[in-house]
Amino acid sequence: MTDETTHFGFRTVPLGAKQGEVDAVFRSVARRYDLMNDLMSGGLHRVWKSALVTALRPPRTRPFRHLDVAGGTGDVAFRVLDAGGPATEVTVLDINGSMLQVGRERARPEHRGRIGFVEANAESLPFGERAYDGYTIAFGIRNVPRIAAALGEAHRVLRPGGRFLCLEFSRVDVPGIDALYEAYSFQAIPRLGQAVTGDAESYRYLVESIRRFPTPAAFARMIEEAGFRRVTHRPLTMGVVTIHSGWKI
Ligand code: SAM
């Protein structure tokens, strides 16, 4: 890989071509995206997203402005609103209008007025410096072509004292189970994708992109390089996913 290329799953593609391919994946699966998450993870994605929001701990008694990047169909944003107080406001940002449209339709009446949907790129956020108290990105960062740019933007838009949290797939770290998980990922998930969305290729990309993503330790270094401090990471479910945390000091 050179500066001008990156990965799209197991393929090497020009850096400028990846976003278009990623967008095609999420346009294709948007309407069945939430159902597939439940089926693929046996509902565990709900537990992981709740753990992310528990780590964020939005305050119940004071205003809190939160940005959920690559927020897709709104799962994390809805949880932040449910956990926070009445003065919690969430912006869901995603590059894909199809995913955001599903999110708008899923928002419950009690969320209205406290949630906004913005179509934009994580690599260049359309917000001023220090605009947000919290930033989350769940299962999104590995899809972004220029990860360092997205992390730099996260740091820019957070106020000092603001919290960065990222939920991303990692690698199963239990001998024996790792081989089972590998077989499940590469054999079962594309077939399930074909059956439910008619699109096996998109789910092959999702599985391959997980393998291509940096290790948790390497990604933690990238978070530090973006300027965050007190950077930590915590594996969940035998390392299937990891929650990364950092603070803007
Ligand atoms: N966060 C949601 C969740 O956990 O259910 C959605 C995750 S989905 C696997 C990945 C999302 O990242 C998609 O909605 C996709 O459109 C979005 N995405 C990909 N590249 C992006 C970029 N450069 N900027 C913003 N969003 C992006």
pLDDT at 3 over 80: no
Residue 246: left (phi > 0), alpha (psi -120 to 50), or beta?
A: beta
Residues paired with 117 in a beta bridge: 92
Give the three-class secondary structure for 132. strand
Helix axis angle, 189-197 relative to 33-41, nearest 10°?
Answer: 150
pLDDT in tens, 103-155: 999 999 999 999 999 999 999 999 999 999 999 999 999 999 999 999 999 99
57 φ, ψ to 5°?
45, 65
**Ranges assigned E (strand) in 45-143:** 64-69, 88-94, 115-119, 132-138
- Residue 223 in tokens: 């978070």
Give the residue, out of 139, 142, 147, 210, with the most ligand 1 atoms within 8 A of its beta carbon, to mutate for a pocket test: 139
Q: Is 40 in the pocket of ligand 1 (CB under 6 A)?
A: no
Give the three-class secondary structure for 192. helix
Distance from the Cα of residue 202 to its chain's centroid: 17
Statement: the pTM of the whole predicted model exceeds 0.75? yes
Residue 238 CA to ligand 1 center (angstroms) comes to 24
Task: Give the residue, by CA position, lying nearest to ligand 1 atom 16.
Answer: 96
- Residue 196 in tokens: 């439910």
- Residue 136 DSSP label: E
What average pLDDT does the segment 25-33 reach? 95
Q: Is 209 in the pocket of ligand 1 (CB under 6 A)?
A: no
pLDDT in tens, 194-247: 999 999 999 999 999 999 999 999 999 999 999 999 999 999 999 999 999 999
Band of the pLDDT at 164, cuts 50, 70, 90? Answer: very high
The type of residue at 244 is: H
C-alpha distances out from residue 231 to 22, 80, 140, 227, 245, Å: 28, 21, 19, 10, 6
* pLDDT at residue 4 in the model: 86
Give the residue, out of 19, 21, 26, with the most ligand 1 atoms within 8 A of its beta carbon, to mutate for a pocket test: 26
Give the residue, out of 94, 118, 137, with the most ligand 1 atoms within 8 A of its beta carbon, to mutate for a pocket test: 94
Q: Is 123 in the pocket of ligand 1 (CB under 6 A)?
A: yes
Average pLDDT, the chain: 96
* Nearest atom of ligand 1 to the alpha carbon of 34: 5
pLDDT at 1 over 60: no
Q: Is 98 in the pocket of ligand 1 (CB under 6 A)?
A: no
